[in-house]
């Protein structure tokens, strides 16, 4: 009998648990919206915390704003560096000009050799080019005196009047030399 009572009690509690509450469609939507809103808020809060820590860390690495004195100091330093570069460039131009002059080349070529790393090699090749150009531009006779143009004094004396006239027209210098 005791067993029966216990089973009856458990059945009653089960029946109470089994009671299902039915929701209207509107209530379901409200419950879902509330749950979605709750989860969205959790995610938003989590990401806003992460964003805040990241921004704080980023601000640590950002450069601080410079004072007016620091800005002026940087400007002066930049001006000095520019002047140093300019002086270095002028010194290099003078050294190149001196080397060109020693090699017998025009000093005006220095501006073309300014950016070259190995100036000595370039100056030597320029010297070679200029020397070859001098040789190429030297006098080159267009026609050499051939044997048919060279006439002896005896041959000239044996020539007739028309042959002497042709020689006079074609080679006046030779005619003048032979006629004396």
Q: 100-113, pLDDT tens digit by residue?
A: 899 888 888 888 88
* Residues in CB range of 92: below 8 A, 6 or more apart: 114
pLDDT band at 151 (very low <50, low <70, confident <90, very high): confident
- Cβ neighbours of 100 (radius 10 Å): 20
* Residues in CB range of 167: below 8 A, 6 or more apart: 151, 156, 159, 174, 175, 178
pLDDT band at 4 (very low <50, low <70, confident <90, very high): low
pLDDT of residue 105: 86
Directed axis angle between helix 161-170 and helix 172-179, to 10°? 130
Question: Average pLDDT of 128-155?
Answer: 72
Contact 168, 175 (CB under 8 A): yes
CA distance 11 to 71: 87
CA distance 152 to 159: 11
Question: Average pLDDT of 123-147?
Answer: 73
The pTM of the full predicted model, rounded to 2 decimals, is 0.40
CA distance 161 to 164: 5
3 pLDDT higher than 60 = no
CA distance 80 to 44: 53
């Amino acid at each position: 009998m005791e067993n029966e009572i216990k089973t009856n009690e458990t059945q009653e509690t089960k029946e109470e648990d089994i009671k299902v509450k039915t929701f209207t469609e509107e209530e379901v939507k409200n419950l879902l919206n509330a749950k979605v809103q709750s989860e969205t808020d959790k995610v938003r809060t989590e990401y806003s915390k992460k964003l805040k820590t990241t921004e704080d860390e980023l601000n640590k690495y950002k450069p601080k704003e410079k004072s007016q004195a620091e800005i002026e100091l940087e400007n002066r330093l930049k001006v000095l560096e520019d002047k140093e570069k300019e002086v270095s460039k002028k010194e290099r131009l003078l050294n190149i000009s001196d080397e060109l002059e020693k090699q017998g080349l025009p000093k005006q070529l220095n501006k073309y050799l300014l950016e070259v790393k190995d100036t000595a090699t370039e100056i030597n090749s320029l010297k070679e080019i200029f020397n070859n150009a001098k040789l190429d531009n030297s006098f080159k006779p267009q026609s050499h005196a051939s044997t048919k143009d060279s006439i002896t004094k005896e041959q000239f004396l044996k020539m007739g009047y028309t042959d002497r006239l042709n020689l006079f027209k074609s080679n006046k210098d030779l005619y003048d030399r032979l006629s004396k």
